[in-house]
Structure 1
Amino acid sequence: MKEDLIIKQLTEKFGSGISETSNPSPRRMFATVNKEILNEVIKYLRDTFNFYHLSTITGVDKGDFELNYHFANELTCVTLRVTVPRAEPNINSICEVIPGAVLYEREIQDMYGIKVANIPDGRPLVTSDDWPEDNYPLRKDWTFERPKEVIPGEQNGD
C-alpha cells in the first residue's frame, strides 16, 4: 500500500475537509481533518485501507487544542489532526466507528476539558471523583498549588 495513494484518495473524497497532508517518511502520514467529518474519514480509512487499530489519541494545547488520532494497519501509520477551539472545547466521539476509543476520549475529557459528545461512558478516567471542576492538568494555563510540606511532629503549621 502506498502512502501517496491513501493521501490522494483522502483528498479526492473529502476535498476541503482535509486541509493539509504530509508523508514525511516511509510508512508515516499526517492529515489535518475538519472535526465535523472526523468520523466519516475514520470510517473510510477503516473500511478502505484496514486502519482498524487506534494506537492512541494525543492532545496538544496550542492555544486551541490539537487532537491527534494515531492509526495503524499492517503496513503503515496515519495520524489525523483535528483542531478543537479553546472557546468551544467539544468534539464528537469516534466510538461508533472505533469502540475502543472510549478510554482515550475519557482521558482527553479529564486532562484537557474537551467535552466528547456521544461518548458511551463519560465517567472520569484519571481524575478522582472529588477532583475540582474546571481543573485540567494538561492545559498550559493550569496551575498547581502544592500542598504545604508536612513535617512529622508539626501540627497546624506550628
Structure 2
Amino acid sequence: MTSKDKKRTPQEILQAARDILQPWTISTSTPEENRLDVVIDPKNVKAATKAILDNKLGYLAAITGLDVPEYSIVESSNTKFPIPEKGQVEVLYHFCEGPVITSLRMLLPYDHAELDSICDILPSASLYERETMELLGVNFVGTPSTDRLLLPDNWPDGVYPLRKAFTGLPKEKEA
C-alpha cells in the first residue's frame, strides 16, 4: 500500500481541514468529536469550497441556513419578538469524509444576504442553494436556476417561511 492509498484517520482529516482552510479562517470550533466548524468571510466561500474539494476532504452533504434575528422584548410580559428587518442568516456548508464533518459557517446580514454560487465548481449545490434562497432569503449570485423548488409559484416575494419573524401569509380580504 502506498502512502497515497493510505486511509486517513479522522484526526488526520480534521488537521488537514484546519491547515488547508487556514488562509480563510476567522475562527474554528469542534462542537463534537469528528466535527470541525470553520467561520469564514462570505466572500471566500468559493475558494474555501474549492480547497476542500481539491484536497479530497469530503463531499457536500448539505447547505443549511439558520435565522439569527434581533429581538425586541415586551417588558410587561418579558416576551421577546423577532424584529423582521434586523438580524442575520447563518449559512453552513457541510462536507463529509468518513465520520468527519467539516462545516463552513458564514453570517449574512438580512439587508445583504448574498453569497457567490458554488454551482460552477459543484453543480449539485443547486438544489441546496435554491432551498436556502426560497426559505431564508439568501441570494446566490450566479446560481444557474432561480426557479421555485419548494414554494408554490404564487408565493409572495420577500416572504421567507423559515425566518423567525414569519407568522403566516396575510389573509386576503373578501370583496
Structural RMSD (CA): 1.9
Q: CA shift at 1:19, angstroms? A: 0.6
Change (3 A) 1:33 1:135: same
**Aligned counterpart in structure 2 of residue 61 of structure 1, from 44, 63, 67:** 67
Conserved in 2, the CA contact under 8 Å of 1:4 and 1:23? no
| Amino acid across the alignment from 1:34 | D
- Seq. identity, %: 29
Change (3 A) 1:22 1:49: farther
Kindly indicate whether residue 103 of structure 2 is the aligned counterpart of residue 79 of structure 1.
Answer: yes
1:10-48: CA deviations, max 9, x gaps? 21xx1xx31111234332111001111111111101111
Residue ranges of structure 2 left out of the alignment (5+ in a row): 1-7, 69-86
Q: CA shift at 1:60, angstroms? A: 0.6
Kindly indicate whether residue 54 of structure 2 is the aligned counterpart of residue 47 of structure 1.
Answer: yes
Distance 1:47 1:66 in 2: 25
| Amino acid across the alignment from 1:59 | G
Structure 1's consecutive aligned runs of 4 or more residues displaced over 3 angstroms after TM superposition are: 145-148
Q: Which has the higher contact order (CA 8 A, sep 6+)?
A: 2
| Amino acid across the alignment from 1:25 | E
Q: CA shift at 1:89, angstroms? A: 1.4
Match of 1:115 in 2: 139
TM-score, normalization by structure 2: 0.75
Q: How does 1:15-30 map to 2 (within 5 A)?
A: 17-30=24-37
Aligned residues: 144
| Amino acid across the alignment from 1:70 | H
Higher strand share: 2
Match of 2:3 in 1: none
Match of 1:36 in 2: 43
Conserved in 1, the CA contact under 8 Å of 2:17 and 2:102? no
